[in-house]
Amino acid sequence: MLVSNGAYVSILDINPPKDTDKLSSERIRFFKVDITDPKSVSEAVESTISWTKETKMTLRGVINAAGIGSIGRVLDTSKTPLNLDLFKFTMEVNVYGTFDLTRLVCQHLSSVPQEGPDNECGIVIMVSSAAAYEGQPGQAAYSASKGAIRSMTLPMARDLGYHGIRVNSIAPGIFESAMTSKLSAKARLSLEKELVFPKRFGEPKEFAECVKWMIESPFVNGECIRLSGGARLSSRL
């Protein structure tokens, strides 16, 4: 959606997109990065900046969508405690990685020419989750990481407002994705029952539309917007 509206998009990921044909666009560039490796993140940001200079474009924002899901109860049925490495890795990807990429990008955003009547420099969008509000059983690590994203949003907006940078987060509910495509019919039906309206999983286009709205609405700042079809996660899986 961003590319179709004229944006240049730098994709930072550990694997290239599956629909690699889209990379043929002169306005899309892929940089391999391990979000848990500060050196890798820094190099990808610098490569992106070099690309903006080549194209004579200006960096205007970052969308932090890297994340992993993790499942594990604090104590399992045999009373074995949750593996601490799983908790740490979840935080490394979902929280540390998001924060690291944001701080490095904002260093550049703060120096770009200001735009519009508000003298804005750019925007940060992070991805939280409905689990930040109602974590389900086995989601202690995941909910903690997504709750951290939600909690960082306002103080980061306050820190970066001085530099003309807005910060918002999106907390998606149940969306069509590579992860949910693997659900059984029974599991899908159980999740659909939690939806208020519409009674279906969210579509990627609807997430993209929310991103576009945040970019184009200057007064939206310091907010975490739920995108969930009115669903509230239940206390059971």
Query: Could you confirm whether 162 is annotated as catalytic?
Result: no
Identify the weakest region by mean pLDDT among 71-85, 135-149, 189-203.
189-203
Identify the weakest region by mean pLDDT among 10-19, 45-54, 68-77.
10-19
pTM of the predicted model over 0.85: yes
Token pair for 106: 């904002």
Answer whether 137's CB lies under 8 Å from 235's CB.
yes
Cα–Cα distance, 108 to 165 (Å, whole number): 11
**What percentage of the chain's residues is helix, strand, coil (to nearest 5)?**
45, 15, 40
The tens digit of pLDDT for each residue in 120-162 reads 999 999 999 999 999 989 999 999 999 999 999 999 999 999 9
Cβ neighbours of residue 31 under 8 Å, at least 6 residues apart? 10, 11, 12, 44, 47, 48
Answer whether 91's CB lies under 8 Å from 73's CB.
no
**Catalytic, out of 8, 96, 142, 162:** 142
First to last CA, the chain: 33
Q: pLDDT at position 227, please? A: 97
What is the amino acid identity at position 157? Answer: A
Domains and CATH numbers, the chain: 3-227 (3.40.50.720)
3-class secondary structure, 97: helix
